[in-house]
């Protein structure tokens, strides 16, 4: 069959598309002839007359099909053969295999056969059908997915597609062994799709993804107390309608009492950074399932949504017009995005300003402007202005007009433009652009030699700090810290538009990168405007690892100490909590100063190392609580030890960090080195009573339990902190991990008579959420949040079997059983 006859009347103004189809057909005719000779790939979905009537909507290469209504003459030519306002594959000409039209990367229209097995998934190498290495069928072959961008959202879609479970857990590093080849670099699912082909951000492998990086999946509903959450219906991964999973169903939350405090807890549980904002009235669209929760009223300190007060499950007076939404927005003013197109390389231009996205008017819009937008988004190929009306009109704000760029700017924000929100436009004038990657075309615009590569800051607590990454050869990569200093940091901050003081950070202070290491031995004079103007060694000349990634803090100032006086009169409060009130706790890494009572204990002879001997907790100005077994090997002579207060990164000097010497070590008299009973000790700091150490935003005391309190027996938000083991390595930055307190009978069942009433055990008993005291340090704190938002020292990290073994959770000294002993030692009576 000759498809050149199929589309002559497509759209008169788009004759070039018809020519492109003809060229595509003649160029690939031999390929399709060969395909038609293979056995039928779609064995189901055919009518008695031989017409395919199924729901496959992608070509055999995975491209989405175009709607048949885009080809009106073709529909008239073949009436009654299943063509309509849909994008399903069809064979109106009685081809053996169904086929469809699709849009190529160049913008031309092509056609291709559909393979009903394309996008099929299977799990290989697991002990059951519920787990294994993910393999996807594509172009006649099974291939793996790279784990670089692999998430639980992707895993959940795979599990749903396989009909195994609604919840999936993503595993990395070839957990189920290596495969033979890779198909996808990322799936980019939102989590509510029914199959991977519905995921809009799929990306085929374009760079090396080595064996050892195959993605794995475990399909199982979660154990424990945390209810799964997902965000649905947003344009970005960090926003959407909030849905919860309960009794095998996903459902929405009613927006009664829904506010930013509730949103903050959602963002925290999902591990998302940025500013938390609550959205009422189905801002991200109405849900379709049950309404599961109402009257949610979080205090803002909870680590997961189920800890917040709420109505009983499925008791509400709402409909889906009141579905609650959340955004965990990490964007800053001037960020841009492309929306309204199937490809992420094109779309309507939207810019972010003061918490809202808005479109840009096309008055005086040129290809120079388009080039700046594409460069800001990381594309290095040709940029062009899209024709009017190609993308759907916006329904929101119009934020910019009269934009005039020279073409060399690093972001659209640096171009001349009208005042924000001032325009004389309608949404029919929304501007759109198309971007190409370096290599998509031979027409590569040169980058201004005065600007050099783009620079960004990653994994900081705000947009003013983070690991330094530069964009070279189409990839973001880090900078080695050899020779890295405040002068280099000042140039980076200047390039990013900051004018205050700059502070250099080394030794992967903001975490290790995962891409290439682009630069090493950067040597700036301090007068440069861009990092690209500094002398440096390139990618082939470094001898670094990601443990040496460089970072910066821009607009650097010390935290205010005005609240220190208040800290002397209270306990269990984090002075940075108000300053970072809307900053989300992200993952296992804590924020600087977030746990001000955390103390690290070092052997004096090894104080220059990278990991402390033990942890501890400051309970007042002069006393630290830790574990007795910390002194089992090296004795209790205080001259052998030093203490660090206000520490965050073990190999970098932190703000407010102090190193002190203990004056006295007091070990409980009933502790014996051969056992684990009475595993508690006190360290006295040098100084006069009540004035040993001054408190500041990074140094403060934790509360002790109230005598006779029973609150720790009910579910509580409890956290362990320390520089513990992750992936068989000690962390250099302070870690945190949420752990549930477990009933005493469960601990007794696992440990027998070794577990006594003077102990607690805590941790996850799930195979899929392994967190216990390995993430902390011996002697370090287990703190639970009590009334008034104060954190209470509930346990001291003591012992356990293995690391992250769900059969043997971590064991802690129960602090409430030692209040009288602590009181006697420090001679400070409690107030009843």
pTM for this predicted structure: 0.48
Cα 654 vs. chain centroid, distance in angstroms? 25
Encode pLDDT of 599-655 as tens digits: 999 998 876 666 788 999 999 999 999 999 999 889 989 999 999 998 888 777 777
User: Which part of the chain is CATH 2.40.10.10?
Assistant: 596-685
Q: Per the structure block, which two tokens stand in for 829?
A: 């009576």
Task: Quote the strand ranges of 653-808, DSSP E.
Answer: 658-660, 662-667, 681-685, 718-722, 725-726, 729-730, 735-738, 759-762, 781-785, 791-799
DSSP 8-state secondary structure symbol assigned to residue 321: G
Q: Please tell me the CATH superfamily of domain 120-219, with its number.
A: SRCR-like domain (3.10.250.10)
DSSP state letter for 626: E
Nearest in space to 293 (alpha carbons), one of 268, 265, 248, 324: 324
Three-state DSSP at 638 gives: helix
Determine the CATH number of domain 335-436: 3.10.250.10
pLDDT at 330: 65
Whether 466 and 489 have beta carbons less than 8 Å apart is answered as no
Q: Rounding to the nearest 10 degrees, give the CA dihedral for residues 632, 633, 634, 636.
A: 10
What pLDDT digit, counting tens, does each position of 29-59 carry? 332 322 323 333 566 667 777 788 877 788 8
471-489 pLDDT per residue, tens:
777 677 899 988 899 999 9
Determine whether 629 is an active site residue.
Answer: yes
Residue 643 DSSP label: E
- Portions of the chain given CATH number 2.40.20.10: 43-113
Residue 679 designated active-site? yes
Q: Are 219 and 167 in contact (CB under 8 A)?
A: yes
- Residue tagged active-site, from 131, 778, 798, 816: 778
Active-site residue identified among 147, 401, 654, 679: 679
Q: Identify whether 36 is a catalytic site residue.
A: no
Q: Running DSSP on this structure, what letter comes out for residue 70?
A: G
Alpha helices in 688-808 (DSSP H): 744-751
* The domain defined by 43-113 carries CATH number 3.40.718.10: no
Work out the pLDDT band at 328, boundaries 50, 70, 90: confident
pLDDT band at 22 (very low <50, low <70, confident <90, very high): very low
Task: Please check whether the domain covering 457-553 is classified as CATH 3.50.50.60.
Answer: no
Question: Which among 629, 649, 698, 768 is annotated as catalytic?
Answer: 629
Biggest alpha carbon–alpha carbon distance for the chain: 96
Over residues 199-230, the pLDDT tens digits come to 877 777 765 566 667 888 988 876 655 688 88
For the 229-329 domain, the top CATH level (class) is: alpha beta
- pLDDT score for 474: 66
- Which residue ranges does the chain devote to CATH 3.10.250.10? 120-219, 229-329, 335-436, 457-553
Q: Enumerate the H helices of 421-549 as residue ranges.
A: 486-495
In the predicted structure, residue 310 carries a pLDDT above the cut 70: yes
- Calculate what percentage of the chain has a pLDDT beyond 90: 22
Q: Regarding the domain delimited by 596-685, which CATH topology (the fold level of the hierarchy) does it fall under?
A: Thrombin, subunit H (2.40.10)
Between these two residues, 588 and 318, which has the higher pLDDT value?
318
Q: Which of 35-49, 148-162, 456-470, 603-617 has the weakest average pLDDT?
A: 35-49
């Amino acid at each position: 069959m000759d498809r050149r006859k199929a589309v002559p009347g497509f759209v008169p103004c788009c004759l070039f598309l018809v020519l492109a189809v003809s060229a595509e057909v003649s160029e690939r005719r031999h390929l399709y002839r060969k395909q038609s000779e293979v056995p039928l790939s779609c064995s189901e979905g055919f009518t008695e007359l031989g017409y395919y009537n199924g729901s496959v909507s992608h070509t055999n290469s995975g491209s989405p099909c175009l709607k048949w209504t885009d080809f009106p003459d073709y529909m008239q030519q073949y009436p009654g053969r299943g063509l309509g306002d849909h994008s399903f594959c069809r064979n109106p000409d009685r081809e053996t295999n169904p086929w469809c039209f699709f849009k190529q990367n160049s913008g031309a229209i092509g056609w291709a056969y559909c393979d009903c097995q394309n996008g099929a998934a299977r799990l290989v190498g697991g002990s059951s059908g519920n787990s294994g290495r993910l393999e996807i069928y594509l172009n006649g072959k099974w291939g793996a997915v790279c784990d670089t961008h692999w998430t639980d959202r992707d895993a959940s879609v795979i599990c749903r597609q396989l009909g195994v479970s609604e919840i999936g857990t993503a595993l990395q590093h070839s957990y189920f062994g290596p495969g033979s080849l890779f198909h996808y670099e990322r799936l980019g699912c939102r989590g509510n799709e029914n199959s991977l082909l519905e995921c809009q951000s799929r990306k085929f492998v374009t760079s090396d993804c080595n064996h050892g990086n195959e993605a794995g999946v475990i399909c199982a509903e979660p154990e424990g107390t945390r209810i799964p959450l997902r965000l649905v219906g947003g344009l970005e991964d960090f926003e959407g309608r909030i849905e919860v999973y309960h009794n095998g169903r996903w459902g929405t939350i009613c927006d009664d009492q829904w506010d930013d405090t509730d949103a903050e807890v959602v963002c925290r549980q999902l591990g998302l950074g940025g500013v938390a904002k609550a959205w009422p009235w189905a801002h991200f669209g109405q849900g379709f399932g049950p309404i599961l929760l109402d009257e949610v009223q979080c205090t803002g300190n909870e680590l997961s949504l189920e800890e917040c007060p709420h109505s009983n499950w499925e008791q509400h007076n709402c409909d889906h017009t009141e579905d609650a939404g959340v955004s965990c927005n990490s964007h800053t003013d001037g960020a841009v995005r492309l929306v309204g197109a199937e490809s992420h390389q094109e779309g309507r231009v939207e810019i972010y300003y003061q918490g809202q996205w808005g479109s840009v008017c096309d008055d005086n819009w040129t290809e120079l402007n388009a080039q700046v937008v594409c460069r800001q988004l990381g594309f290095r190929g040709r940029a062009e202005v899209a024709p009017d009306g190609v993308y759907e009109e916006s329904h929101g704000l119009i934020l910019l007009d009269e934009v005039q760029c020279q073409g060399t700017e690093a972001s659209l924000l640096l171009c001349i433009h009208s005042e924000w929100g001032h325009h004389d436009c309608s949404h029919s004038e929304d501007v759109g652009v198309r971007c190409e990657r370096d290599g998509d075309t031979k027409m590569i615009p040169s980058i201004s030699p005065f600007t050099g590569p783009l620079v960004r800051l990653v994994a900081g607590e705000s947009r003013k700090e983070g690991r330094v990454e530069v964009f070279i050869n189409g990839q973001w990569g880090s900078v080695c810290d050899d020779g890295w200093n405040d002068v280099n940091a000042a140039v980076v901050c200047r390039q990013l538009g900051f004018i205050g003081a700059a502070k250099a950070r080394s030794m992967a202070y903001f975490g290790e990168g995962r891409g290439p290491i682009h630069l090493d031995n950067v040597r700036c004079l301090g007068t440069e405007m861009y990092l690209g103007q500094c002398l440096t060694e390139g990618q082939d000349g470094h001898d670094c690892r990601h443990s040496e990634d460089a970072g910066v803090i821009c607009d650097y100032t010390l935290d205010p100490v005005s609240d220190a006086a208040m800290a002397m009169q209270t306990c269990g409060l984090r002075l940075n909590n108000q300053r970072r009130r809307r900053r989300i706790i992200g993952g296992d890494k804590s924020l600087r100063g977030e746990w001000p009572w955390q103390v690290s204990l070092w052997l004096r002879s090894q104080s220059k190392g990278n990991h402390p001997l033990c942890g501890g907790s400051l309970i007042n100005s002069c006393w630290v609580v830790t574990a007795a077994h910390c002194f089992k090997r090296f004795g209790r002579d205080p001259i052998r030890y030093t203490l660090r207060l206000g520490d965050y990164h073990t190999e970098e000097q932190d703000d407010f960090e102090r190193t002190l010497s203990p004056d006295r070590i007091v070990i409980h008299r009933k502790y014996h080195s051969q056992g684990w009973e009475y595993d508690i000790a006190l360290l006295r700091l040098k100084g006069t009573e009540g004035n040993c150490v001054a408190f500041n935003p990074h140094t403060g005391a934790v509360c002790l339990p109230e005598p006779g309190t029973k609150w720790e027996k009910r579910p509580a938000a409890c956290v362990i902190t320390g520089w513990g083991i992750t992936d068989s390595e000690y962390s250099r930055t302070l870690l945190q991990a949420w752990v549930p307190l477990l009933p005493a009978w469960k601990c007794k069942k696992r440990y027998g008579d070794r577990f006594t009433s003077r102990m607690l055990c805590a941790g996850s008993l799930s195979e899929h959420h392994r967190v216990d005291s390995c993430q902390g340090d011996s002697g370090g704190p287990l703190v639970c949040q009590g009334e008034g938002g104060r954190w209470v020292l509930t346990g001291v990290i003591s012992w356990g079997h293995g690391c992250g073994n769900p059969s043997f959770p971590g064991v802690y000294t129960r602090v409430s059983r030692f209040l009288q002993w602590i009181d006697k030692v420090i001679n400070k009576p409690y107030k009843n």
